[in-house]
Amino acid sequence: MAALVIGGLVGLRASGLSQHLNLENLQGLSQTVRDLGWVAPLAYVLLWVVACLFFLPGLPVTLLGAAVFGAWWGMLWVTIGANLGAAMAFLAARYALRPLVESWAAQNNQFQKIDQGVARHGWRMVMITRLVPLFPFNLQNYAYGLTKIPLRTFVIVSVICMLPATVAYCLAGGALVSGQGDIKRTLLYFAAAAVFFAFASLLPGWIKKRYLNASAAAGEKIPVLREARPPIRVLFVCVHNSARSVMAEHFLRRHGGTSFLPESAGFEPGDVLPAAVEAMKEIGLDISAHKAQGVYELAEMGRTYDYIIAVCSDLHGHCLPDFPGAKILHWPFPEPSTFAGSWEERLARTRNVRDQIQQATLRWAAEQNPAQG
């Protein structure tokens, strides 16, 4: 999937579509879409999905909707297309492209500010960023996929908060297209667009002021308005990436919040150990869908980390590859795949390893105390 997105970006640049999709070419593009007949709405919605996934500019696409379908139908198709595209980017970041987007997030301060804002303010952060243009639209869609915001909440808040700007731009586009040859209709559309532009421009300031006053009264600060300290990037390593390193990754993800970006990998990647899945399930963590990564492959990709933590008692002849700048730690824990005996006996010993890893992870995370930086 990551290769598909990267390939798509390269293909769009090579095809010239990203350069062709601009206000100057609006008339020609609108005629091309109209010529599609009854499939034009579907093609337009798909264009929005492509725009959101591949970081194409949204304003020309919005005005294109008004130019093709008119102001009122344009509002409908813009709303459907923009929000469907945003949801697709959100899901791509949460599932299919998570490692790739997390690597972007580790080096992008805007991602981190959004993540901190969601951790403190929940859905209100989506509302603020949709209304106040502090972050690029396409960046937001991917960034929220990494947070704990539910998809349904993201979609509902986005639809509501994006509607004023959608109405304003579609009315402006309708004034230029639907009003051609009718001076009264043209003036009416421009007047309506001006009203909604004024509303859309004043509403964010009112909400921002009201929210900042409420936060100040509660002794809080909006994270988006201050510099965020980058999260600590951690790679847990064991032999197979099938039990110990997976447990450590999920414990740090659960207890470390947005202060850490944990991953795990193995020297000989294998399937997740059933006893590890069961032991983690008992405490509310599902690791059954974990896909093992190879530590050598990560090094070849040029991935960077602040800490490499080996959680195996024996490297079995393997050597850690070089990750420039990373600090190496060693937490030796017994290897659950070597446990003998009945299922109950192996599960009991795996639970013991689980508890040891959780204690070590919690203790180490508290020592880092990144929130105080």
pLDDT in tens, 214-248: 544 544 444 443 444 578 889 999 999 999 999 99
Q: Which residue in 52, 161, 170, 312 is the catalytic one?
A: 312
Cα 219 from chain centroid (whole Å): 29
Q: Does position 135 have pLDDT exceeding 50, yes or no?
A: yes
pLDDT in tens, 171-192: 766 655 554 544 455 555 545 5
d(CA 4, CA 68): 30
Structure-token match 């933590």, residue found: 309
**Are 114 and 224 spatial neighbours (Cβ–Cβ below 8 Å)?**
yes
pLDDT bracket for residue 53 (50, 70, 90):
confident
Cα 158 from chain centroid (whole Å): 15
Q: Which residue in 52, 161, 170, 238 is the catalytic one?
A: 238
Cα 63 from chain centroid (whole Å): 26
Tokens of residue 91, six digits = 């899901």
- How much is the mean pLDDT over the chain? 76
> Which CATH code of 1.10.3720.10, 3.30.450.40, 3.90.105.10, 3.40.50.2300 fits the domain covering 232-372?
3.40.50.2300
Question: Sign of torsion, CA 72 73 78 80?
Answer: positive
CATH 3.40.50.2300 placement within the chain: 232-372
pLDDT in tens, 249-304: 999 988 887 788 899 999 999 999 999 999 999 998 999 888 899 999 888 888 88
* Residue of 13 and 207 predicted with greater confidence: 207
Q: Does position 155 have pLDDT exceeding 60, yes or no?
A: yes
d(CA 1, CA 115): 23
Please indicate whether residue 170 is annotated as part of the active site.
no
Please indicate whether residue 238 is annotated as part of the active site.
yes
Residues 6 or more apart whose Cβ sits within 8 Å of residue 360: 248, 331
